[in-house]
Amino acid sequence: MELTEQFILLQAPNPAAADNGRKLSKSGKFSSLRRSEDGTLFWGECAGSGKTPYRVSIDWTEPQAPVCRCSCPSRQFPCKHALGLMFEQLSGKPFEVADIPQDIADKRAKQAARAAKKEAGAQAPKKPRKTNTAAAAKRLNRQLEGLDMAERMVEELLNGGVGSLGGSSAKTYEELAKELGNHYLTGPQTAFSRIALAVRTAQRTPEQQEGSYAEALRVLIALRSTIKKGRAFLQQKLEAGQFSAEDTILFEAMGGVWKLEDLAAIGACREHVRLVQLSFDVSYDEARREYVERGFWLDLDTGHVDQTWNLRPVKALKYIKGEDSCFSLLEIPALYTYPGEGCRRIRWENGMPRPLTREEQSGLPALAQPDLATAVKLAKNQMKNTLLPKFLPVLLPVGQVGEVDGAFVLEDPAGGRILLRDRPEDGADHASTARVASVPGGLRKGDALFGLMFYDKADRSLCLHPYSAVTRSHIIRLQY
pLDDT tens for 104-117 read 888 888 887 887 77
- pLDDT for position 167: 56
Contact partners, residue 447, CB within 8 Å, separation at least 6: 365, 398, 469, 470, 471, 472
In DSSP notation, 404-453 reads ETTEEEEE-TTS-EEEE---GGG-GGG--GGGGGGSTT---TT-EEEEEE
Q: Is 198 helix (H, G, I), strand (E, B) or coil?
A: helix
Contact partners, residue 2, CB within 8 Å, separation at least 6: 354
Q: Is 294 helix (H, G, I), strand (E, B) or coil?
A: strand
Query: In the chain, what's the furthest Cα-to-Cα distance?
Result: 78
Q: Is 314 helix (H, G, I), strand (E, B) or coil?
A: helix
Q: First-to-last CA distance in the chain?
A: 32
Distance separating alpha carbons of residues 107 and 101, to the nearest angstrom: 10
pLDDT class of 186 with cuts at 50, 70, 90: confident
pLDDT at 23 over 60: yes
Residue predicted with more confidence, 60 or 157: 60
The answer to whether the CB of 358 falls within 8 A of the CB of 332 is no
Q: Is 4 helix (H, G, I), strand (E, B) or coil?
A: coil
Distance separating alpha carbons of residues 149 and 156, to the nearest angstrom: 11
- What are the Cα distances from residue 438, in Å, to 7, 61, 348, 411, 468? 30, 45, 35, 18, 12
Task: Identify the CA nearest to 343 among candidates 310, 385, 297, 283.
Answer: 297
- pLDDT for position 124: 58
Task: Identify the CA nearest to 70 among candidates 100, 48, 98.
Answer: 48
Distance separating alpha carbons of residues 400 and 85, to the nearest angstrom: 47
Distance separating alpha carbons of residues 232 and 284, to the nearest angstrom: 33
The winner for highest mean pLDDT among 351-355, 411-415, 456-460 is 411-415
The tally of CA atoms less than 13 A away on the side-chain side of residue 268 is: 23
Distance separating alpha carbons of residues 376 and 372, to the nearest angstrom: 6
The b/e string for 428-466 (b: 16+ C-beta within 10 A; e otherwise) is eebebbeebeebeeebeeebbbbbbbbeeeeeeebbbbb
- pLDDT for position 273: 96
The answer to whether the CB of 465 falls within 8 A of the CB of 433 is yes
pLDDT digits (tens, 9 = 90+) for 268-326: 999 999 999 999 999 999 888 899 999 999 999 999 999 999 999 998 887 788 888 88
The tally of CA atoms less than 13 A away on the side-chain side of residue 208 is: 12
Distance separating alpha carbons of residues 418 and 394, to the nearest angstrom: 13
- pLDDT for position 321: 80
The answer to whether the CB of 461 falls within 8 A of the CB of 409 is no
Residue predicted with more confidence, 246 or 40: 40
Distance separating alpha carbons of residues 402 and 182, to the nearest angstrom: 53
Angle between helix axes 170-182 and 133-160 (nearest 10 degrees) is: 160
pTM of structure: 0.81
pLDDT digits (tens, 9 = 90+) for 415-424: 999 999 999 8
* Interior angle at CA 18, CA 16 and CA 22, nearest 5: 115
- pLDDT for position 294: 94
pLDDT digits (tens, 9 = 90+) for 35-44: 998 888 999 9
